Chains A and B, each alone.
Chain A
Amino acid sequence: MRVLNARRVGAAVLATATAAFMTGTVFAQEMTMWVRDGTAANAGKVLVDLWNESRPDNRIELTVIPNLQMVTKLATSIAAGEPPDLISLDLIYMPDFMKADSLVDISDEAAENPNFDKVIDAYKDISSYEGRTYGTGFAPDVSVIAWNKDLFREAGLDPEKPPRTIYEIHEMAKKIAALGDDTYGFYFAGSCPGCNIFVTSPLMVAGGAKILPRDGEDTALEGEAVKEVLQVYRDMWTEGLVPESAETDNGANFVSGFTNGNVGIAGTGGFVIPLMESDFPDLDYGVALLPGLEEGQVSGFVGGDTIAIPRGSKNEELAREFINWVLTDEAQLEGLAKNGILPVRADLATDNKYFADQPKVQVTAEALKVGYVPWVFHFADMVNSDASPWINMLQRAVFDGEIDEAIEEARERMIEIAGE
């Protein structure tokens, strides 16, 4: 998802990046792996380093691919018969690649290795097609809601109580925006399709809505929560609770919108927690599950990357071995958790020495369990592209105020795309 492309993430990992790019080129390669730019690149780097340390003869050469080029490069390389041996890709594209028989079936590994079953459900779900398994979780991410405790205090709100419904978001945002001209209640990146499927759609899903259609016969954007959420966004926009720059933010300020410190509430991802720690240690904030229409309704969008073997891999056996290894305690704990990255195994996600005293990380682990991931084809077309029905709906509804028409138009277009 584009949301992970947020360039701000880079600041935290620039140092490791330099190291990655040194090690990546100095040694001869045994196996190649592509990872997309963003959080997954960080996970890929620490895991590959750990693997390479102990296996000098089976080294993996990791290549970071620009986010926007990833699916194209992968598809053309598979079509050309020269794909990398391993691929860490945005989980949302799994259905397209599985349906096209572009990934290697690893059902045998999944059946033999008990660790496969311990992986967070969303990743198991998105990695299987017609009863077969084609991959597993690699670098998890999930959306949560973040609130600025200092601003909550200033506005006379309880800094330990996050909003529990979208209506509460609105109420709280009003109070915070009243603090001054440069203070805003809420932020979202209004021109970023990926950011909003990540943080806005779970508000709808928590409220009981269904967003994306699985095929041309399916329903889309069903449920009152779709309209309710858009209405609340619209109201917050017209009341000036959201900075004007939000309308044109294509994701560049998805993270900094909140980290700047003048916004009360914003949807964000688990990946900001290590970033905040390193870059904004003074900002007092909290994270919670994204709410719905009523108290107790919660959800999140499970994002991040899955790992799979492209059809045509020259080192299939070794690649299978790597995937098995990724799910071991060693990789999950000493690779991911130790470096502040969430493990993909549900049994280790929070129950480990690195995260035991990190309440915020515990929240994201919880979100991973309750969160959803849409199992659909044509996600790029339907959601992620700059001209998608999803972002068009959001923009038309929030900035133009034509909520019903916007939903209707997007629904038709989504079902049309799903039917292709």
Chain B
Amino acid sequence: MSDGVASFKVGDSKSYRVLKSSGRGLYNFFGGLAILFVFWWIGGYFISINPSTEHFAAFGPIPTLKAFPELWSAGTIQNAVAASGYRLGMGLLIAVVIGVPIGILMGRSKRFREISNSPFQLLRMISPLSWMPLAVVVFATWNQSIIFLIAIASVWPVAFATAAGLAKIDPAWFKVARNLGATPIHMMTKIILPAISFDVFTGIRLALGVAWIVLVPAEFLGVTSGLGYSIEDARETLSYHHLTAIVLVIGALGYILDSTCVLLIKHFSWHRGDSA
């Protein structure tokens, strides 16, 4: 198949991740985190012994870990994750609902691809956060504005990955399917979607990476829920150990979401060498 080279690269990073489930992988996983923790602890130690920074000592790992039970029992983490998760999920959903058809159109119609290229490339390069002032004017609530920002950040990776997936489809598959009596709906559900699902999920994974970065600063303003708000709130109340705890939650959740995408990509991949 002509896409052998491209899929190999993805395959390599994937098999590397699969290693984590093996013994050595697990060892590396915790070993790496331990090293990060040590650096953090050293940094925290220097902050606490320096008189000019000592009231920031709560940034260190020990106060942060102590903050977790407090934040959990107060429901802060759960509420923040639920609010942010809702916005992220809605934004991504909108991005997929819009981005996949656009990507299919780009892959199927040369004319559409050519004419849409310049506007899409231009829109794609606009930092999603720069839409914020406009979004606030257009949408009734801050919540909707944030969902819009997530959606507009995510739609491009999804659309472009979908189009790339379609470009790799063997045109003979359509000929075979047509010959065997496929209707246009069969073409979509049995040929196109299974053929590109790997690429769509790769796009969603890229989109998630961008959306997760956009989400937190987008929540700094206007809203009174979510991970971004919790960071702002902790900063204003000078509870620095809460701040670092939320930062840690953001990192861990992002990692989990990304790994979930990797598993989905693996599940939907039919490229040889990626699965099993």
Q: Do A and B bind each other?
A: no
